[in-house]
Amino acid sequence: MTLALQLIANGLVVGGLLCLVALGLALIFGVMRVVNFAHGEFVTLGAFATYLLVANLHVSPLLGIPLAFALGAVAGAVVQRAIIARTTGRPELDVLMTTYALSIVALGAFSQAFGGDFRSYAEGPSGTLTLSGVTIGWRSLTVLLVCLALGGATVLIMRRARIGIALRALAQNRDAAASCGIDVQRSELFAFSLSVGLAAAAGSLVSLIGTVTPYVGHEWVLDAFVVVVLGGMGSITGAMIAAILLGLVHSVASFVLDDSWAKIVAYLLLYAVLLVRPQGLLGKADG
């Protein structure tokens, strides 16, 4: 029983982080029909930004989270305006290749700047908390809480705020939304900015519980893609459910087998879902 609770606790931490990364992917795909293969590199950006901040100024890494979010939001806005906006209305292949090329550029730049070293820091929350036999690190608990807060805020924005309603309208029918007076360009800029901000904040959290390498975001984003397909392309609720589910699968599979097998299981699960229910858990069936 305690073991089950422990595995669930571990799974929730991974699931929460996956949720944060996948949320941005689902948002952009839902609103703009853009698959952002460079999303993982923004996670890496947030991780390195936090690492550099903590390693050089010795401040709490918690300070890095809002900073990474802001940095990501600005970077996202620039990338959207300078590059992604140019591909609007072009064939899908062009859009895919544009974000893929961006990811290659960023991956190469990170590898060149930081090499293959594994980096981490000792600052920030430490120690563990034991509740009825379940042990959870303060760092992991911080991650979970921040994920909850950011995820909750995003859902609230999407449900209640004017811009959130505009984004949902765009996701439903772009032309109709535009003819109702919704500023498409501004809304897309906001969506991309928010999405990348979330990715960078997730990166900041990743640096808190793991090591920072140029490939760290790439590894997380692959699982996040599994989550997005599993949840139904573009469905934010679906992505959140799938993220928690995959976090739990990952937690159990890494306990029973090992970390590589956990990934193999996740990918095989994805092929199985494509075969049986291609529209994902909550996606709408269409061609």
Partner 1 sequence: MAESSARRTAIFGIVATAAVASLCAALPWLGVSAYLRTLLYYGAYYLALGQAWNLMSGLTGYVSFAHGALAGIGAYAVVIAMNAGLPLWLSLLCAAAATALASLVIGLTSLRLRGTAFTFATLFFQELVLLIVRKLPFVGGPGGIVLEEILPAWLPYLLMLGVAAGATMLLLVIRRTRTGLRILALKDDEAAANAAGINATRLKLILFCVSAAIAGATGAVHGLFASSLFPNVVFAVDLSIVALAVPLIGGAGTASGPVVGALLYVVIREVLQVIAPGMHLTIVGLVLLVVILFLRDGVVVALARAIRHRRALPPALAIGPEPR
Angle at which helix 259-276 crosses helix 216-231, to 10 degrees, equals 30
Q: Please give the Cα distance from 250 to 172 (Å, whole number).
A: 33
- The answer to whether the beta carbons of residues 95 and 34 sit under 8 Å apart is yes
Task: Please give the full DSSP string across 79-109, using - where no structure is assigned.
Answer: HHHHTGGGGTTS-HHHHHHHHHHHHHHHHHH
Angle at which helix 2-32 crosses helix 138-160, to 10 degrees, equals 40
Residue among 32, 118, 31, 23 at smallest CA distance from 72: 23
Task: Establish if 94 lies at the interface with partner 1 (CB under 8 A).
Answer: yes
Binding range to partner 1, per CB under 8 A, among 98-106, 195-203, 235-243, 246-254: 98-106
Handedness of CA 232, 233, 236, 240 (dihedral sign): positive
Task: Establish if 149 lies at the interface with partner 1 (CB under 8 A).
Answer: no
Binding residues for partner 1, rule CB under 8 A, total 41
Task: Report the nearest approach of partner 1 to the CB of residue 105 (Å).
Answer: 4
Binding range to partner 1, per CB under 8 A, among 99-107, 116-124, 164-172, 192-200: 99-107
Subset of residues 221 to 280 that bind partner 1, contact rule: CB under 8 A: 222, 225-226, 229, 233, 260-261, 263-264, 267-268, 270-271, 274-275, 278
Q: Which of 1, 89, 112, 126 touches partner 1 by CB under 8 A? A: 112
Task: Report the nearest approach of partner 1 to the CB of residue 270 (Å).
Answer: 6
Task: Report the nearest approach of partner 1 to the CB of residue 264 (Å).
Answer: 5
- The answer to whether the beta carbons of residues 58 and 198 sit under 8 Å apart is no
Binding residues for partner 1 (CB under 8 A):
35, 83, 86-87, 90-94, 96-98, 100-109, 111-112, 222, 225-226, 229, 233, 260-261, 263-264, 267-268, 270-271, 274-275, 278, 287
